[in-house]
Amino acid sequence: MPRSRQSNRPGASGRGDQPDGDLDPVGRVEWLRERIRFHDRAYYELDAPVVPDADYDHLVRELRALESAHPDLVTPDSPTQRVSGAASTQFAPVQHRTRMMSLDNAMDVGELRAWGERTDRRLAELGLAGGVEYVCELKIDGLAISLRYESGELVLAATRGDGRTGEDVTANVRGVEAVPQRLTGEAPRVLEVRGEVYLPLESFHRLRARTEAENEEALAAGRRPRPLPANPRNAGAGSLRQKDPSVTAERGLSFWSYQLGEVVGAEPPPTHSGALGYLEALGLPVNPATRSFPSLDEVYGFCAHWVEHRHELDYEIDGVVVKVDDLSVQAALGATSKAPRWAIAYKLPPEERTTTLLDIQVSIGRTGKATPFAVMEPVFVGGSTVSMATLHNEDQVRVKDVRPGDTVVVRKAGDVIPEVVGPVLEFRPDGLEPWVFPADCPSCGSPLVRAEGEAQHLCTAADCPQKRWAAVCHFASRGAMDIEGLGEQQVQMFMDLGLIDDVADVYSLDYDRIGELRGYGETSVENLRTAVDASRSRPLARLLFGLNITHLGQAGAEALATSLGGLEAIAAAGIEDLSAVDGVGPVIAASVHEWFADPVHRGVVDRLVAAGVNTQGPERSVLPQTLAGRSVVVSGTLAAYSREEAEAAIKSRGGKSPGSVSKRTTALVVGAEPGASKITKATELGVPVLDEAAFEQLLETGELPS
C-alpha cells in the first residue's frame, strides 16, 4: 500500500477521512468522488484498503444523498453510476462475456423492507404480486471470481474488476482446492460460473500466527516487522494475487459458487435455485446455508438469524444476499446502470470502523499483569459503542505502531473484546512519537517487571490496589465463584470502605454496615448474603480458578481437582506430581506449586477453608472409560439430557466435550434445532453426525455406528 504523508489530497490532514474545512455541495461532491476513487483503488487493485467497509459505505451513501438532492451534479463517471474497481496491471486483462454487476446495499432492516416494498410494487405491475420465491444466500467476505469451463475443463479464472474487465488469475485459482479443475456429470460446452474466493478463519489465524512469529524474529534481529493480516478478506485477496502461484496454494483459500454466467451447449435452469442445484451437480461447491422462501417476512427472519449467528461459521460474512428466484422475473425487473433491481445485499452491522486514538493507558490485572489499552473517540461498531480496546502487550503496540493521535481501525466481533487492528498511516499527523511502555505501575508506583522470554510486564507488589481489586472481581465472577451482586463497582466500594481486602474477606462481610449504604435495602442485602453463601458449595475447580494463580485456567483447574481430589492434596503436591496430571504442563505446575508455597496465600486458603468453602474434588467416575482420548461435540436439544448433562456424560467416560467441531472431533451429536454451522463443519471434515440413539450407543460401547 502506498504510504503518503501530508499530501495535498483530501483526508491527509490527520483528522481521518474528512476534508479540510466546510465545502459547498459542489465541492463536497467532488471531494467524495475523489475519496471513493482512492479507496476503490486501494481495495480492488491493491488489496490494501485504507478504511473498513462501513466507513467506505458512509462516503458512498453521502454521495448518493447529495446527488439525489442535486441531480444536476450527477455525472456518468460518478462512482454511484458504475461498478467499483478496476483490473490490476499485475495480471493480464480479461473481458467478461457477461457483465459482473455489483449489488445495492440495505444497511439496516428499514432499508431491506423498503427494497421489499419496491419489489412488491414492481411485481404487482408485472401481475406477479405474491407469486414469487426469494433465494437468500450468505454474503461471503471474499473476492468475486468468474470461472470459465470448456468441455468441463477449467480454462480461465478472472476477478470482477470493474464488472466488464477483470484480471486473469487462472494459475493462482488452480491452487484453490475447492475449485474443481474438471466438472463432473454432463458438462456443457461452455460454462461460466460466478463465485467468491475466501480465506477460512482457520487459514487466516494460521497465516496471522506465522506472521507474528516472523515479526518476533525480525524485532529480535532489529529488522522492521511486516504488517499483520488485518482480516480474512484482505488476507484472502492478497493471497489470490500472489505472483507465485505456489504461495497462493499454501494459504488455504476456499470457494463458493453462487451464480451462472454464460452457458453454451445446455439449457440453463429457469430459476436461480435450480441453477445452484445444477452447479452442485457439476461438482461446484454451493454454500449449504442458502435457503428459498415464498414470502418477504421469511426473508427478513433469515437475515435476522444471521445477525445473531454469524460467528458460528468458520468463515466471515458481511451480509445476506436476497434474490428473486425466477430468472424470467429477474429479466423483467431489470437493472440500473450499476446493480440489478431483483437483488439486494443486506449488510450486517459493521465490525470494523475508524476512530481517533486519544491515549494509551495501562491496566493492572488480577495476577499483576500490565496490559496496555487504547482510549478512543467513541465509535459504534459490532453492535455497541466502543471507547476502549485492548492492545495486549508492549510488543503488540510496537508491531502495530499505533500512537496517540492516530486514526486507527478498531474491530469488535460479537462478544469479543474490542481490538485495535492498526493505524491508518495515510492520516497520521506529522510529529507523532512512538508510545513508550511505562516503567512503573500506574496504580501503586512499583516497578513493572518483564521477565526474560515473557511478553507481559508484571506488577509484583503484593499490596497493589488495582491488583487486589481485580483479584476479588475475578474471584466473584461467573467463571469462578459466581457471586451475583458482587460486581466491579461493588467490589471497589467495599474495598474503599475497608470491608474487603482479599478474596477470603468475601465470607466475612459486615452486612449490617452494607445495609446502611445508599442503594442497599433489606432485600438487596439479603440477596447478596444468599449469593455469598451459595458460592461456598461451588466445585473445587471453580475455587482454584478463582484464586488467581498465574497460568492456571479453567481447564487446568478442573484437571487438578479431578486428578488430585482435594485442595489439601493439591497444595501439598510437588511440581513433578502436579505436572504429571493430564492437561497440566510444567509451567502451570511450577506456578501452582509456587503459589501455594507463599505463606500469604496459604493464610488466605486457611481462611477460605474456615469459611466453609468446598475443598473436595469430584468423585472419580466408576463408569467404563469408553470415550478416553475422544472429543464429542453436542449441538441442539436432546430428549434425555440437558446440554450440561450430555457433556457430563461424555466427561465421566473419559472424553472431552468442546464447543466447536474440528479435525480432532470424534463425533457431532445433534438434537432438535442444532447449529447449522456445526453440521456444515462436520460434513466438510467428514466427522460422523449422530442422533440421540447413536449417542447412547457411543457412551455405552465407545463404538460409532457402522
d(CA 84, CA 161): 8
Residue 98 cell numbers, joined: 457477461
Catalytic residue (choose from 139, 323, 412, 681): 139
Neighbours of 453 (CB within 10 A): 5
Cβ partners under 8 Å of residue 670, min gap 6: 635, 636, 678, 679, 689, 690, 691
Residues in the chain: 706
Which pairs count as long-range contacts for 68-74, CB under 8 Å and 24+ apart, including other chains? 69/25, 70/25, 70/29, 73/25, 73/26, 73/29
Identify whether 139 is a catalytic site residue.
Answer: yes
Contact 93, 55 (CB under 8 A): no
Q: What is the largest CA-CA distance in the chain?
A: 87
Sign (positive or negative) of CA dihedral 615, 618, 619, 625: negative
Q: DSSP assignment, residue 41? A: I
**Helix count and strand count (H, E) for the chain:** 24, 21
d(CA 154, CA 168): 13
Q: DSSP assignment, residue 705? A: P
d(CA 493, CA 529): 16
Contact 476, 491 (CB under 8 A): yes
Strand partners, 486: none
Residue 48 cell numbers, joined: 490494501
Pairing of strands 689-690, 667-670: parallel
d(CA 354, CA 52): 7
Cβ partners under 8 Å of residue 503, min gap 6: 471, 472, 475, 546, 547, 548, 604, 608
Residue 102 cell numbers, joined: 455489483
User: Angle at Cα 285 formed by Cα 280 and Cα 290, nearest 5°?
Assistant: 80
Q: Give the burial string for 208-246 (b: 16+ CB within 10 Å, else e).
A: beebbeebeeeeeeeeebeebbbbbbbbbbbbbbbeebe
Catalytic residues: 139
